[in-house]
Amino acid sequence: MKLGIIGLPSSGKTTVFNALTKGDAPTGQSMGGRFDVLTAVVDVYDERVDVLTRMFNPKKTTFAKITYTDVAGIKKGANEGGGLSGELLNHLSGLDGFVHVVRAFESDLVPHPDGRVDAARDLEALDTEFLLNDLGVVERRIEKIEDGLRKGASKDKAAAQAELALFQQLNETLSDERPLRTLDLSDEQEKMLRGYGLLTLKPTVVLINIGDEQDEVTLDYDQPQTMVANLRGKLEMELAQLSAAGDTESLEMFMEEYGVTELSLDRVIGLSYDLMGLQSFFTVGEDEVRAWTIKRGATAVDAAAAIHTDLAKGFIRAETAAYDDLIALGGLAQARTAGKLRQEGKTYIVQDGDVINIKFNI
């Protein structure tokens, strides 16, 4: 999964990036609207992996991964000045979703570019940039389809008319100033739209960046495929850097002082997993204990493909045990004896926490 951390200048994007990745990228530097990106791959911590590691004592332990990118170059009025740059759009289009950082903190050291802090205004401003970008894409596509139908150039007239109806629906939604993720699209329609890089179609976590001592801020922003949370970005960055440095004593002291029960990395990843409809399954053995990420509702063949395409091609069956059963019984042999190590076929729907061994032949 690859998520882009986006936001207007001075929103604290890089601070949040550091908090989520335990990094130390310089903060407070304006890129002047120039496209730039920082990237980090982080482990998705899962205590179940630790438990399985103690049980199987493997040579290697591998957590699931998530990639965060800190995306610079987005500013108000971009579409009035010719739109978002092609380089920026290409990057944004390739992301699975967004972490939208919205400034709610006051700072004399980092004055707000608009003179005063207004989280609702800033949230709407960036949403508007994405809406206008998508509206331009949709209008151009409608024009092209209509032109093809008018000239009789469409090879499949029925398919072209269906696509036209879909894009007209998109146009109506965007014209009503609603993001495309508010639409209830079918899998087939989502597949049809995949190559257009529509930004308002992407799931979004809105992080309201508040000060260390500031009360949480509530925004009226109830949308499908969207989650809203408050984050003390500067504090969380400092805590993450203490964690990265191994200063456990100071970390625990500051977490207790500020009432922080878990680092933002784990909390935001949890939100992201829920938002994207993701879950984890595990493979275990003497060589490696590993967590894998798949969509909820994925089949055993999908899980095999996540490990390696050859496993999916030659799939025979999946030996499967629920994590809770495996831990309660004490191991795979005990699970087999108790009838909890099941033989599942291609259409089996993988459950969160399943421990799976793929049997295959190619």
pTM flag (> 0.85): yes
Largest CA-CA distance found in the chain, in angstroms, rounded: 73
Whether the per-residue pLDDT at 221 is higher than 70: the answer is: yes
Least confident of 33-42, 183-192, 307-316, 317-326: 33-42
Mean pLDDT of 326-346: 96
Judge contact between 350 and 356, C-beta under 8 A: yes
192-199 LR contacts (CB < 8 Å, sep 24+): 192/163, 192/166, 193/166, 196/137, 196/141, 197/89, 197/90, 197/92, 197/93, 197/137, 198/134, 198/137, 198/138, 198/170, 199/92, 199/93, 199/130, 199/133, 199/134
* pLDDT at residue 29 in the model: 57
Q: What distance in Å separates the CA atoms of residue 95 and residue 199, rounded to the nearest whole number? A: 9
* pLDDT at residue 313 in the model: 96
**Per-range mean pLDDT, top range of 86-95, 187-196, 308-317:** 308-317
Domains of the chain, by residue range, sit at: 297-360
Q: What distance in Å separates the CA atoms of residue 293 and residue 222, rounded to the nearest whole number? A: 27
CATH number of 297-360: 3.10.20.30
Q: What distance in Å separates the CA atoms of residue 160 and residue 16, rounded to the nearest whole number? A: 43
* pLDDT at residue 147 in the model: 92
Residue 157's contacts (CB-CB under 8 Å, 6 or more residues apart) are 149
Least confident of 72-81, 96-105, 318-327, 351-360: 72-81
Mean pLDDT of 268-284: 92
Whether the per-residue pLDDT at 31 is higher than 70: the answer is: no
Residue 148 DSSP one-character state: H
